[in-house]
Structure 1
């Protein structure tokens, strides 16, 4: 097992490891089938009971919640890096901003070459803003995070009202023009066969994917800032508060951590469990699915992220056979996140096995456990020989504009 570096915080590494594993279980849908299926499951590959079971499991336990946790951990990482830079006599901004610029480059490459659902570019852009707040105490960071969540979720009220009006017009008999517009909206959720065929063709090679991204939506990574950037920033600030208060490092008294795990996880499970039941009962009718999945779930994502963090801290010791492997995955979260996309490209892209658009939702999820196993195997194997993950090393070297030592030596690792 790879030894942990002396300056690592094992709890953060364990949290980060489980988060990056969880993210793949959601991203695999975006890798394996058309984008519309990611946002509205009946749009593609959703015919059997197993597809509904896998959707419900991800909806209740993973989707949105693990991204919230990952975003919180990114914010905690910003505070940690800046603190250590200041402690070593360096200007924190001189350390932080080169890191964000290089991360943006990686994110754009990831978007254009591999996956439309990249989050790295959004993290880099919002991280540039988040730096402004890293010195604040935990209480102020928490207040700002709550303000951010209120702002990011405010449009949901308007959208829900609009959707309720549309539903009323459909059921109570609107004008022919209004009913036609509603029917068009319903139809738009499920792409036409020609659109699906074009999407599949765009995945015949990496070059074809890149050409499509550049032609259809070249600015999407930057449009994520007004899109969901406020929520991302709020989650980062919440993570900074969690780090500064000692919550995310496991320094809280066990009783307080148990309370957070119990209350936050219970609230999340109650909402998402009840919503999944309602959606399944309505057979994914858009007027039930869209508000429960896209509008009202937002406030519960940070709650779930905090609850998951607390539960993981309670369940995983700071060291041990399993904990060390998961921590190794977390130490290489950047490599594992992008590495999972490379595996997805190999499996689904036409340049590899060409399985894109050939599998149902449940079938594509069968690749998740083997990829998790791969992460848990190769991460400690690599770290036993090298100081950083391969992409962590590249990111570090580029941000510092110098060749960082990579191979592990027998002396104590200070990296």
Structure 2
């Protein structure tokens, strides 16, 4: 039997929606675009290394550094945190309605996995939904734990994630000598992911993305990562954040039931630790000349212990800023209620700008220039989400997910 958290205040006339969760989700779906823009518009290693492509100017490096310090990892962490909290809330409400919550959840994860694979294969390689579906299935085994035990397990999993990252980094450092064919292959693989592999290595991706939709799809199908392998490599980190989200819901943190002074302390501590740490790591990468070893060390190992600390800090800050009835809160919460639709819609729009089936701008712009698209995307999210919800009550993909999961559950 799932242990319910204290009953949070529910806004009248909003069908039981929790404003705090919707507002947090809205911030996450908007802010994660800051992290994802290089993935839409630039070759793959440029996501982690600004010198891989499109990062030659001082302003490009500055944009990379600001994104590293203030965004990267934390918005994905916030999404994962909210996924765990929302999962627990859906299970609780299903039980209250006399339904089999576990069966409903597994159906939802199956549908999400299919939709995520469609997104991954036919729209954009940066999909996270299929991964969330797999990790969310595993997370079901922990829903009966207390908030304290969930928190402890989240910390343990973070340590395990760091251990995996350390092994990766040790392998990379050992391969730096490039004294065997195996070492050369491993070094080149890390260069292709985190380094500066050079135009000859990057041109197949550039040509495919500037080509037709079928060219891009063929490239994605040939080069996409395996979600099952991702489950091993980044699954512990994702599960850690989901369990922390369950603990945060169960304790009342995500529902705004803590005192404002406590939220202020959480924000000050979380951001006071994470922002200087990320700044130091960005400075280390810059001082190394953007060496692949420095980039991999920060991405795979050093960021892990402060990523969730920063995520909690941002969550506390957003909860402090939530104002029921305020224009910004209402609009951002509406974008959050349609986070699934807005996430996929962002991929569709940004890949249309970048890929050959649309405007064909892939790898044509500098890193800083691509960020000019973000205010436009944010304005569209804020402009359309609330009117759509006022008319239809639910985002189109949210409705598809819900109806498909419940139809398969009922057997019709």
TM-score, with length taken from structure 1: 0.89
- 1:160 Cα shift? 4.4
> Using the alignment, how far apart are the partners of 2:384 and 2:113 within structure 1?
26
Query: Which moved further from structure 2: 138-147 or 190-199?
Result: 190-199
Partner of 2:404: 398
Matched, 1:372 2:381: no
**CA 1:320–1:395 in 2, change beyond 3 Å: closer, same or farther?**
same
SS at match of 1:339: helix
- 1:307 Cα shift? 0.6
Equivalent of 1:227, from 230, 233, 256?
A: 233
Q: How does 1:155-234 map to 2 (within 5 A)?
A: 155-161=164-170, 185=188, 189-203=195-209, 204-217=211-224, 220-234=226-240
Matched, 1:96 2:102: no
> Using the alignment, how far apart are the partners of 2:172 and 2:107 within structure 1?
43
**CA 1:255–1:184 in 2, change beyond 3 Å: closer, same or farther?**
closer
Partner of 2:3: none
- Native 8 Å contact 1:282 1:288 kept in 2: yes
- Native 8 Å contact 1:45 1:361 kept in 2: yes
- Native 8 Å contact 2:191 2:292 kept in 1: no
> Using the alignment, how far apart are the partners of 1:325 and 1:4 within structure 2?
16
- Measured against aligned partners, the alpha-carbon deviations of 1:307-337 in whole angstroms (never above 9, x if no partner) come to 1000111122233111000000000000000
Partner of 1:282: 288
Matched, 1:253 2:259: yes
- 1:119 Cα shift? 0.3
Q: How does 1:95-174 map to 2 (within 5 A)?
A: 95-161=104-170
- Native 8 Å contact 1:112 1:209 kept in 2: no
Matched, 1:360 2:376: no
Partner of 2:5: none
> Using the alignment, how far apart are the partners of 2:140 and 2:334 within structure 1?
27
TM-score, with length taken from structure 2: 0.90
Partner of 2:392: 386
- Native 8 Å contact 1:115 1:341 kept in 2: yes
Partner of 2:65: 56
Equivalent of 1:5, from 14, 17, 22?
A: 14
Aligned CA-pair RMSD: 2.4
Structure 1, unaligned stretches of length 5 or more?
A: 170-174, 403-415
> Using the alignment, how far apart are the partners of 1:108 and 1:140 within structure 2?
33
- Native 8 Å contact 2:338 2:398 kept in 1: yes
- 1:133 Cα shift? 1.3
